[in-house]
C-alpha cells in the first residue's frame, strides 16, 4: 500500500472488525487522542479487540514511528470520544506514546506523522487550514478525560509543534509542493514569472450613466417583447414586435404570389403619381417658355 496524502491512503489498513457503527452524520473535523500506551496497529487491535478487549475504536492511529494505520473506515463511526455527536461527525486520530507513565511522552515522528495526517484530512475533506476548535478538536472537549494529554491545545507541550507542522503541511498540499508521499517536489527549472496583469477597465460609468443604460435596455426589451396591436385597420391581432417581424417574411411571400407578374396596388398608385408629376413638369416648362 502506497501512502498517499492527497487521496488520504495511510501507510497501513488494519481494520478492527468491530467496536464501530456503520455510517456517520458527517466528516466535519478531527479529534486528537493519545493512546496512553505504546501501540502499533496490531497492538491497538489487540487491546481494543471486539472479542473481549476495550469497547473502543478509532479511525486512525499514528504509531510511535509516525506511521498511520486505519482501523475504522472514514464512512463509519468509530467509538472514540464517549460522545455520540463527536463520534458521528468527527474523525478520530490516536497518537501512540513512545514511553509509559508517569510522563507518557510522544515522539517527534508521531507528532509529525499525526499532524501531517490531520493536514491531509483537512485538505481532502476541504475543512480549511487546520485550526483548533474549528476543524481540529481535542478529546477532552467532549468528555471528562485528560486525553490527548501532552497534545492538548491549552497546556500540552506538543501542541505548538503539532499545529506548526499541520498548517505548514496543509499549505504544501494546497500548493502541491510535495508529492503523494510528502516529499518536496524538486523544480529543475525556475518557476515561470507570471506576466504582469494589465488593469482593464471595461466600463467606468457614473451612476446616472448606469441608470440610463438600465432604462434603455428595459425600453428596448419592452419595445421588442411587449405585445403591440397590429397596425392593419380592423385587425385585433396583437403580438410582440419580434413576432411581427418574423411574420413579415410570410406576408412578403403572400404578396409575391398575389402580384406575380402584375403591379401591386401600391405600385399602380406610385406609377399614377409619377405620371401626374411628369405632366406637371411639362406644364411648368411650357409656362416658362411663354
Ligand atoms: Zn482520547
84: domain CATH number is 3.40.80.10
* Same domain (yes/no): 59, 125: yes
What single string gives the DSSP state of each residue in 4-55?
BTTTTB-SEE----SSEES--S---EEEEEE-SS---HHHHHHHT-TTTS-S
pLDDT band at 1 (very low <50, low <70, confident <90, very high): low
Q: How many CB atoms lie within 10 A of CB 144?
A: 6
pLDDT tops 60 at residue 213: yes
* Centre of ligand 1 from the C-alpha of residue 250, in Å: 81
> Hey, what's the cell of 25?
452524520
How many Å lie between the centroid of ligand 1 and the Cα of residue 147?
5
Query: How many folded domains does the chain comprise?
Result: 2
222 and 142 in a common domain: no
Same domain, yes or no: 169 and 213: no
Which of 151, 174, 197 lies at the terminal end of a domain, its last residue? Answer: 174
Q: How far is the CA of 93 from the centre of ligand 1 (A)?
A: 9
Residue where a domain stops, chosen among 124, 155, 174: 174
56 CA to middle of ligand 1, Å?
10
Q: Provide the 3-class DSSP secondary structure of residue 90.
A: strand
- As a whole number, mean pLDDT of residues 202-219 equals 87
Distance 34 CA to ligand 1 centre (A): 6
Is the residue at 200 inside a domain? Answer: no
Q: What pLDDT does 288 receive?
A: 62
pLDDT reading at 199 higher than 90: no
The answer on 161 and 44 residing in a single domain is yes
For residue 267, the model assigns a pLDDT of 83
- 104 plus 235 within the same structural domain: no
Q: According to the model, what pLDDT value does residue 287 have?
A: 67
Q: Is residue 117 part of a domain?
A: yes
Q: Is 50 exposed, middle or buried (0-12, 13-18, 19+ CB in 10 A)?
A: middle
Which is more confident, 28 or 277? 28
Q: How many angstroms separate the alpha carbon of residue 110 from the centre of ligand 1?
A: 15
% of the chain exceeding 90 in pLDDT: 63
Ligand 1 centroid distance, CA of 33 (Å): 4
- Among 27-36, 37-46, 162-171, 271-280, the least confident range: 271-280
Q: What is the mean pLDDT of residues 48-61?
A: 94
Task: Please report whether residue 194 resides in a domain.
Answer: no
Are residues 44 and 169 located together in one domain of the fold?
Answer: yes
pLDDT for position 121: 98
Q: Residue 20 in contact with residue 81, Cβ under 8 Å? A: no
- Whether 5 is in a domain gets the answer no
Give the pLDDT confidence score for residue 289 in this predicted structure: 57
Confidence tier at 233 by pLDDT (50, 70, 90): confident
Residue 82 DSSP symbol: S
pLDDT in tens, 160-194: 999 999 999 999 999 999 999 999 987 777 777 87
Structural contact between residues 151 and 34, judged by C-beta atoms closer than 8 angstroms: yes
- Is residue 195 classed exposed, middle or buried when 0-12, 13-18 and 19+ CB atoms within 10 A define those classes? exposed
Q: Which residues pair with 3 in a beta bridge?
A: none
In a domain, 188, yes or no: no
The percentage of residues in the chain with a pLDDT greater than 70, rounded to a whole number, is 97
Domain boundary among 150, 174, 198: 174
Q: Do 141 and 276 reside in the same domain of the chain? A: no
Question: Which of these ranges, 105-119, 179-193, 221-235, has the smallest mean pLDDT?
Answer: 179-193
Separation of CA 247 and ligand 1 centre (Å):
78
Residue 133's pLDDT band (cuts 50, 70, 90): very high
Torsion on CA atoms 50, 56, 60, 62, rounded to nearest 10: -100
- Report the pLDDT value the prediction gives residue 257, as an integer from 0 to 100: 86
Distance 80 CA to ligand 1 centre (A): 7
For residue 105, the model assigns a pLDDT of 95
Determine, yes or no, domain membership for 3.
Answer: no
- For residues 208-233, give the mean pLDDT: 90
What is the CA(143)–ligand 1 centre distance, in A? 9
Give the CA distances from residue 111 to residues 57, 86, 188, 236, in Å, rounded to whole numbers and listed in that order: 20, 22, 31, 84
Give the pLDDT score at 255.
83
In a domain, 238, yes or no: yes
Q: Are residues 239 and 121 located together in one domain of the fold? A: no
Query: Do 263 and 121 reside in the same domain of the chain?
Result: no
CA 45 to centroid of ligand 1, rounded, Å: 16
In whole angstroms, give the CA distance from residue 130 to residue 133: 9
pLDDT at 161: 96
Shared domain check, 117 and 165: yes
User: Are 154 and 213 in the same domain?
Assistant: no
pLDDT averaged over every residue in the chain: 91
What spacing in Å lies between the alpha carbon of 138 and ligand 1's midpoint?
8
Answer yes or no: is pLDDT of 285 > 80: no
Calculate the alpha carbon distances from 77 to 9, 12, 51, 210 in Å: 18, 19, 18, 56
Rounded distance from Cα 121 to ligand 1 centre (Å) = 18
Q: Supply the pLDDT for residue 254.
A: 87
From CA 74, how far away is CA 91, in angstroms rounded? 7
Q: Is 67 part of a structural domain of the chain? A: yes
Interacting residues of 77 by C-beta distance below 8 A, sequence separation 6+ = 20, 21, 22, 23, 24, 87, 88
CA 32 – ligand 1 centroid, Å: 7
Rounded distance from Cα 70 to ligand 1 centre (Å): 16
Q: How much distance in Å is there from the Cα of 58 to the middle of ligand 1?
A: 9
User: Measured in angstroms, how far is the CA atom of residue 160 from the centroid of ligand 1?
Assistant: 19
Q: How many CA atoms lie within 13 A of 150 on its CB side?
A: 21
* 8 Å CB contact between 138 and 148: yes
Q: Which domain holds residue 64?
A: 12-174
- Assess contact for 29 and 88: CB atoms under 8 A: no
CA of 116 to the centre of ligand 1 (A): 19
Residue 230 predicted with pLDDT over 90? no
- Domain co-membership, 211 together with 170: no
For the stretch 61-91, pLDDT in tens is 999 999 999 999 999 999 999 999 999 999 9
Q: Is the dihedral of CA 72, 74, 78, 81 positive or negative?
A: positive
- Asked whether the predicted pLDDT for residue 290 surpasses 60, the reply is no
- The pTM is what? 0.65
| Among 277, 43, 26, residue whose Cα is nearest residue 135 | 26
Amino acid at each position: 500500500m502506497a501512502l498517499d496524502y492527497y487521496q488520504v491512503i495511510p501507510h497501513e489498513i488494519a481494520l478492527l472488525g468491530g467496536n464501530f457503527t456503520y455510517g456517520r452524520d458527517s466528516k466535519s473535523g478531527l479529534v486528537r487522542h493519545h493512546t496512553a500506551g505504546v501501540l502499533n496497529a496490531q497492538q491497538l487491535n489487540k487491546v481494543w479487540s471486539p472479542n473481549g478487549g476495550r469497547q473502543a475504536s478509532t479511525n486512525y492511529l499514528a504509531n510511535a514511528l509516525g506511521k498511520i494505520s486505519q482501523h475504522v473506515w472514514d464512512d463509519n463511526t468509530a467509538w472514540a470520544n464517549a460522545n455520540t455527536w463527536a463520534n458521528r461527525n468527527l474523525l478520530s486520530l490516536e497518537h501512540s506514546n513512545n514511553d509509559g507513565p508517569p510522563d507518557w511522552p510522544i515522539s517527534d515522528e508521531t507528532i509529525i506523522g499525526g499532524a501531517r495526517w490531520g493536514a491531509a484530512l483537512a485538505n481532502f475533506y476541504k475543512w480549511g487550514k487546520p485550526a483548533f476548535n474549528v476543524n481540529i478538536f481535542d478529546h477532552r472537549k467532549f468528555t471528562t478525560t485528560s486525553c490527548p494529554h501532552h497534545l492538548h491545545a491549552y497546556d500540552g507541550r506538543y501542541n505548538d509543534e503539532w499545529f506548526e507542522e499541520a498548517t505548514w503541511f496543509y499549505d504544501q498540499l494546497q500548493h502541491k509542493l510535495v508529492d503523494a508521499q510528502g516529499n518536496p517536489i524538486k523544480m529543475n527549472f525556475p518557476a515561470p514569472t507570471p506576466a504582469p496583469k494589465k488593469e482593464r477597465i471595461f466600463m467606468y460609468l457614473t451612476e446616472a450613466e448606469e441608470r440610463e443604460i438600465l432604462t434603455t435596455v428595459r425600453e428596448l426589451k419592452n419595445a421588442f417583447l411587449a405585445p403591440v396591436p397590429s397596425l392593419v385597420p380592423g385587425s385585433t391581432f396583437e403580438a410582440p414586435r419580434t413576432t411581427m417581424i418574423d411574420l413579415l417574411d410570410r406576408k412578403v411571400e403572400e404578396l409575391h404570389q398575389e402580384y406575380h407578374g402584375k403591379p401591386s396596388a401600391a405600385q399602380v398608385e406610385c406609377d399614377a403619381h409619377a405620371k401626374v408629376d411628369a405632366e406637371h413638369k411639362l406644364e411648368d416648362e411650357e409656362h416658362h417658355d411663354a
